[in-house]
Structure formats: C-alpha cells, structure tokens
Structure 1
Amino acid sequence: MPESVYIHIPFCTHICYYCDFNKVFLKGQPVDDYLQAMRLEMEHTFQQFPPKQIKTIFIGGGTPTALNENQLTYLMKSIHAFVQFDSNIEFSIEANPGDLTVEKLKILKHYGVNRLSLGVQSFNDELLQAIGRSHQAKDVYVTIDEARRLGFNNISIDLMYGLPNQTIQDVRHSLDEFFQLNLEHCSAYSLIVEPKTIFYNLMRKGNLPLPSEDIEATMYELMMDEMEGHGYKQYEVSNYAKKGFESKHNLVYWNNDHYYGIGAGAHSYINAVRRSNIGPVNKYIQAVKENGHAIREEVTLSKKEQIEEEMFLGLRKTEGVSIKKFQEKFSIHPLEYYREEIEKLTNKQLIEVNHRFIRLSKQGRMLGNLVFQEFIK
C-alpha cells in the first residue's frame, strides 16, 4: 500500500499567468463543502486501500494557504483523523509569500507540518508582476523570518527561469538572494507555456518575449553550477537540497512508488493502477457525496508501461535508475531490455552507466526530454 498522500486545494486568491494546474479563483467557491468532501474521500480511500504507515504528506494547489484559519484547522483535523503520525513523517504544504500569516503558521506548526514550500519564483518585483504573482520580494523575507521564529527548519522555495524578458543577471540575483536566506531546498523550473494559460494566449498572438533556447540553457547551467558551489546537491533535474533535506514526498514520484491522491483533479497510483479525479470543484463535491470518491479515469499499467515509467521517472534523479531495484521489480536486467537505447545514448554522452546505476550525464540533464523519450518503446 502507498506510504504517501497528496492532498489538492484548488483555490487561489490570484491566478498566475503561467499556471495550468487545477485551480479556481477563491471568491464565491464552496470551500467548506469541498473540505468536507475531501474528508469523505479520505475516509473512503483509506477504507478501500488501508495504509500501513504514512511517511509523507504533501498539500498542494492551487494555494492551500488561501484557506482561512478555521478552514485550515478543519483540514488539519481531517488529516489527523485518518493518518497516524510519528516523528519521522514529512508533512509539507505549499504557500504563497504574503498569504502565510503568523496565525496560519501557528496552526500548521501545531498540527505537525514540518516543511514549507514557498512559491517565490523570482526576487525581481517587476518580473513578479509580469508573470501575475501577487506578492513582492519583501513578503518573502517577512514570511521566512516568521516561519523561522516559530521553529520551521525545513523551508523550500520555487524559482523560475526562462520567463518573459528575464535576463541571466536576474537569475543570478535570485540565486544570490536564495543563498543569503540559507534555506534548505530549492526547486528551479524553466517556464513551460501550457495551453489554457494567459501566457499561451499571449504567445499565440506573438506578445510573449521569451529568452532564446541558448539563453535558457545558460540559465539552467548557471543554476546547476551555483547550487553545487554553495553546497546544494542537485538530486533531481530541477531540485537542489542541503544534505538530508531532499523532498521525500517528491522522491516517491521519481522512484515510481505508490501514493494516494485526494481532492479535485488529484492523481493516485495504487497497485499499478493510475487514477485521476474529477477536476471541477462542484462536480467533485457531488461525486464524493454520491460515491465516496470522485474517480474520473482508471488506467491499469501493463508491465511494459511500468518499465517505461521506471526509466523516465528514475532518470530525473541525479543518482539515476537503480539496476538492482529494476531487476527486483521486473525480473529483467535494464541493460538487456534497453540494450540499443543505452548504447546509443552512452555513445552520445547523454547517459552514464556503472554496475549500480544508469544516470544522466550533465549534458543529458540539459537535454533530459530527448533522453526520456528514447525509453518509451
């Protein structure tokens, strides 16, 4: 059974121009009904698939901290009703700088949240405004100071590069600010312009001035080199951490392990079956009331599909795919199953192979998607 739970809060006080996650503007939404439906879904899910011991919880969004204090308390109590806590659990929540009041931080701390993931994106106020963020750089420092004062010692921020009109100097400035804050973790993502976003519409009209591919590659290389130089290990293509502060929850995804997904639009992976929930909030609430769940689609993965996912998810990790674990899972040696692909990519110096792991080279990390697609037969 899964040892990890993802919980989705789709509400936002502001919609960012690049975001394609399942989210809705908070005002006028049936938030209390939604939280009650999630509690019902948790109860139904854990009855159907009883967990042994939950090791990680991740509350994402949307913006979980868009909930008011009473709603946040209700959510925390719901989680505690179904999850047995111990001292080793990693309990993460996403938050926007500025949304996270002292009172909300106290509630999170009281109920065992021990990892904060802040959507910072940039320390440039003009750029933040241009991508639709509602906070300013000063809010980041205030939120982190308050969190530290209350005892949070595992804080991550998101940074973005490849943004409209963004320069290499701007990326360097954001990195310098991150190092000054001395945080434990950073997720650094390049902008991907997704359909149904404001940026996508601007791009179609020719009004989205993005950096060239060469400049974006230089930004990524700068991220990798600066992080390494400041003691942050790149343990996944987009993630950097001080030793011992890697995201245990996200490693569940990249290790291709099982997890529960609770909430509108949430995904789960249990017993080689991938499930996705209904996305629209009101339809999700109605489905849970009627059925105890809101499953929209179920896909049972074939052995071939499981093998492919093991490779392209595992290669995202800097350590790569464990040959021993692959053999134990699938009773086949990956160097035999993917003989031609591995030979081709090794010759191009995009992957490295030893007796324990198959991993991306530094050049391979720059061209990750080209490598991943080679393992989908």
Structure 2
Amino acid sequence: MPKAVYLHIPFCDYICHYCDFNKVFMKGQPVEEYLDHMAVEMKNTVKKFPYDHIETIFIGGGTPTALSASQLDVLLESVNDTFHPGSHIEYTVEANPGSVDEEKLSVLKNAGVNRLSIGAQAFQNDLLKRLGRGHDEQEVVEIVKLAQRMGFDNLSLDLMFGLPDQTMDMFRESIERTIQLDIPHVSSYSLQVEKKTVFYNLFRKDQLPLPTQEEEADMFELLISKLEKAGLQQYEISNFARPGFESKHNMMYWKNEHYYGVGAGAHSYMNGVRRINAGPLKKYIQLVDENGFPYTEENELTTAEKMEEEMFMGLRMKKGVSVERFQEKFNIPLMTVFGSQIDQLHDKGLINLNKGNISLTEKGLFLGNEVFSEFLGVVEE
C-alpha cells in the first residue's frame, strides 16, 4: 500500500532556463478548474488503491507557491480531506523565494504543513538571472528568516553547481551563505542539460560555457566537505541533513516504496505498477472527466525490473542496500542475483561490502552512474 503522496502543481510565474519538469506560465491558466480535478483524482485514486496510513506528503511543481493564498487553501483542504495527515507525518511544500509571503505561510502552517523545500539554487544575482530565476539572493534570506520566525524549523534549501560561468568561489559562497542561514537540510544537484530547455538550445549552439568535469567534481567534493563540517551529513548522493532532518519523502523513492502521484504529469507507483499522468492541462482535465483517472502510461514491473530498481535506487543512499531486506522482498539472496556485478565493483573500489549492506565508497559517490548501470539488464525472467 502507498505510504507517500506526491502532488504536482504545474504553474509558474517564470520558466527557469534549465527546467524540464511539467510546467506552464501561470497567467491565463484554468487554476481553479485544475485544483477541482486534482481533488477528483485524489478521491478516485484512494478509492481504487486504498492506503493504511500515510507517512509523507510532498507538494511540488512547477511552483506551488505561485498559487494565491486562497488557492493554496483550497488545495490543502482537498489534500487533508483525502489523506487525513496527522501531526507526526512529514508534510512538505516547495516554496520559491519571491512567491511566498506571510499570508501564504500562514495558510500552509494552519493546514499542517511542517516542512518547506526552498529553491534558492545560488546566492549570486547575476547567476540567478542567468538561470532564469525570478528572485534575488536577498529574497532567499528573507523567506528563510520569515519561515523560521513563523515556526518552520524543518527547512530544506536547493543549491545547484556545474552552472554556466559558475566558479568555485561562487559555489563556495553559496554553500557558506546556506550554512549561515542555519538550514537543517540541503539538496544539491549538478546541472543536467535537458531537452526542451533554454539551456539545451544554447548548448547546441555552443553558447553555454559550463565548468569542466574536473571542476564540477571539485565543486561536489567542496560541497561534501563544507556541509559535513557544518553538521549536515551526506545521507544520499545529493542530500545532506542534520540527524533527524533527512527527507522521509525522498527516502520512500530510494527505498522503492509505493507512492501516489496526483496532478498533471505526476508519476505514481502503486501495486507494482508505475503510472504516468497526462502532462498538458487540457488533456489531464479531459481524462479525469472521462475516466476518473488521467493515466497515459501504465507499466507493470517485472521481478527483474524491481530487483534492478532496488539496487540503483537504494545505492543512492549512503547506507546503501540492505542484504536482508533484499532477501525479504524477493525471496532470493542478493549475491545470488548480483554477486558477479558486486564483486567486480568491489574490486574497482566503487562499493563496500559490510554490516549487511552494499553501499558506494567515496570513489563510488563520484561515479554513481557507472555503478548503477552495472545492475541493468542483468536478471533474466
């Protein structure tokens, strides 16, 4: 049964130059109609795929805080009526600097939201402009301090590295500014140039001056060092937290648990089937009206696919994949399935074998994709 809920709000006040997520400009969109259809999808989904208890809720986008305070209230009322979150669950909303004020934060807090994921990305105004972000560095500071004053103590900040014309000194400054804000959780990813983005078009024209792979690796090494010295431990390749502030929601993905996905373009994993919702708003609304569900793809995973996912998702976590848990889930020893690959990776110094877990070494953290690919297409049905 699903223990986690992801809800997608595709509306944005601006479109970032690197973003390939499902999103649309807010202006002129049928926002209220969309929220109504999300409520219908929620009700239909839990009726068809019941849950026992929900442990995490995450509202992402897009930009959820692009909604007005009254629209946020409508959304959160639907969520709470459907999933009945208790005070013990992790309840996260993505919040962008520049689109949040005290009124919206009050709506979130009154609805039970207890964690904010803040999209800072950088602390240099020129770089933020280059990314197409709609805020400046001061607005990052302001939203963090406002949220802290209002009692949000579980905050996460997003930082990016490997950006166009980004230097080591710039990234060092962003890390240090983050540490100064007393943030208990940081997510930091290197830039991936994706199709259908402004950056992709510039990249194809050779007009995107990116750091070298060596410089990017140095940035990642600096990130790990400075955050761990500040008490934020790396618990997943790209995520760092003080003890007790790890993202429970993302852990559901990395542990390959089942979860609901609600909204345009959302993905879900229920009863061993991965589903993808229609992305375009009109199509999403039409399918919910016609079928009660907006699915455009349904893929029932084979046992082999589940095993592969267990490895390359689980190895993202610092503690790695549990040998005992693998045996419990698949009724076969992990080494019987992937022993050859594990031995080879261990010989290369990329994975550890200890304490009943298979995990990445320090070297393996920098070569994660190389490790993960070794577990694909191995198991025969």
Q: For the Cα contact (< 8 Å) 2:17–2:197, is it kept in 1?
A: yes
8 Å contact from structure 2 (residues 123, 173) kept in 1: yes
AA of the residue aligned to 2:113: V
Q: What TM-score do the two structures reach when normalised by structure 1?
A: 0.99
Pairwise CA distance, 1:336? 2.0
Q: TM-score, normalised by structure 2?
A: 0.98
1-side partners of 2:24 and 2:266: how far apart? 14
Cα offsets for 1:84-137 (capped at 9, x unmatched): 222211100001111111100000000000000000000011100011001000
Letter aligned with residue 73 of structure 1:
D
- Please list, as runs of the form range in 1=range in 2, the aligned pairs for 1:97-116 lying within 5 A after superposition: 97-116=97-116
| 1:78 corresponds to | 78
Q: CA RMSD in A?
A: 0.7
Aligned partner of 1:53 in structure 2 is 53
Alignment check: 8 A CA contact 1:326 1:334 kept: yes
Matched residue SS, 1:338: helix
Corresponding residue for residue 21 of structure 2:
21
User: How far is the alpha carbon of 1:357 from its aligned partner?
Assistant: 0.3
- 2: CA distance between counterparts of 1:50 and 1:348? 45
- Alignment check: 8 A CA contact 1:179 1:230 kept: yes
In structure 1, runs of 5+ residues without a counterpart are none
Show the counterpart of 2:262: 262
Shift of 1:69: 1.2
Contact 1:44-1:292 within 8 A present in 2 as well: yes
Q: Number of paired residues?
A: 377
Aligned residue type for 1:9: I
Matched AA of 2:214: D
Q: State the alpha-carbon separation in 2 of the partners of residues 227 and 363 from structure 1.
A: 18
The AA in structure 2 aligned to 1:103 is E
Distance 2:48 2:237 in 1: 35
2:287–2:293 Cα contact (<8 Å) kept: yes
The one-letter amino acid paired with 1:314 is G
Q: Give me the whole-angstrom Cα distance separating, in 1, the residues matched to 2:356 and 2:137.
A: 43
Give the distance between the partners of 2:85 and 2:186, measured in 1 at CA. Answer: 26
SS at match of 2:44: helix
Once the two structures are superposed, the pairs formed by residues 84-163 of structure 1 within 5 Å of their partners are: 84-163=84-163
Q: CA deviation at 1:236?
A: 0.4
Distance of 1:271 and 1:107 partners within structure 2: 34
Q: What is the percentage of aligned positions where both structures have the same residue?
A: 53
Q: How much has 1:355 moved relative to structure 2?
A: 3.9
Q: Distance in 1 between matches of 2:322 and 2:50?
A: 28
**Per-residue Cα deviation, 1:197-243 (whole angstroms, up to 9, x for no partner):** 00000000010000000000000011111111111110000000000
In structure 2, what is the Cα distance between the partners aligned to 1:166 and 1:35? 38
State the match for 2:297 in structure 1.
Answer: 297
Instruction: Give the aligned partner of residue 226 of structure 1.
Output: 226
Residue 353 (structure 2) aligns with? 353
Q: Is the 8 A contact 2:87 2:112 kept in 1?
A: no
Structure 1 stretches (4+) deviating beyond 6 angstroms?
A: none
Matched residue type, 2:85: F
Helix, strand or coil: the match of 2:234?
strand
Contact 1:323 1:355 (8 Å CA) reproduced: no
- In 1, the alpha carbon distance for the partners of 2:105 and 2:265 equals 26
Contact 2:5 2:56 in 1 (8 A): yes
Paired with 2:365 and 2:80, the residues of 1 have a C-alpha distance of 39
Q: Distance in 2 between matches of 1:130 and 1:223?
A: 22
2:341 alignment counterpart: 341
246-255 or 45-54, larger mean C-alpha shift: 45-54
Distance 1:141 1:229 in 2: 22
Give distance in 2, aligned partners of 1:36 and 1:160: 34
> Are 1:205 and 2:213 matched, yes or no?
no
User: Aligned equivalents of 1:291 and 1:179: distance in 2?
Assistant: 48
In the alignment, the residues of structure 2 paired with residue 339 and residue 155 of structure 1 have an alpha-carbon distance, to the nearest angstrom, of 40
Tell me the amino acid that sits aligned with residue 149 of structure 2: R
Q: Tell me the residue number matched to 1:324.
A: 324
Q: For 2:144 and 2:356, locate their aligned partners in 1 and report how far apart those are by CA, in whole Å.
A: 39
User: Residue in 2 aligned with 1:217?
Assistant: 217
Residues 7 and 261, structure 1, Cα contact 8 Å, conserved in 2: yes
Asked whether 1:288 is paired with 2:288, we answer yes
Cα distance in 2, alignment partners of residues 99 and 124 from structure 1:
19
Residue 39 of structure 1 corresponds to: 39
SS of the residue corresponding to residue 188 of structure 2 reads: strand
Q: Which residue of 1 is the match for residue 191 of structure 2?
A: 191
| Matched AA of 1:263 | G
Q: Partner of 1:236 in structure 2?
A: 236
Structure 2 unmatched runs, 5+: none
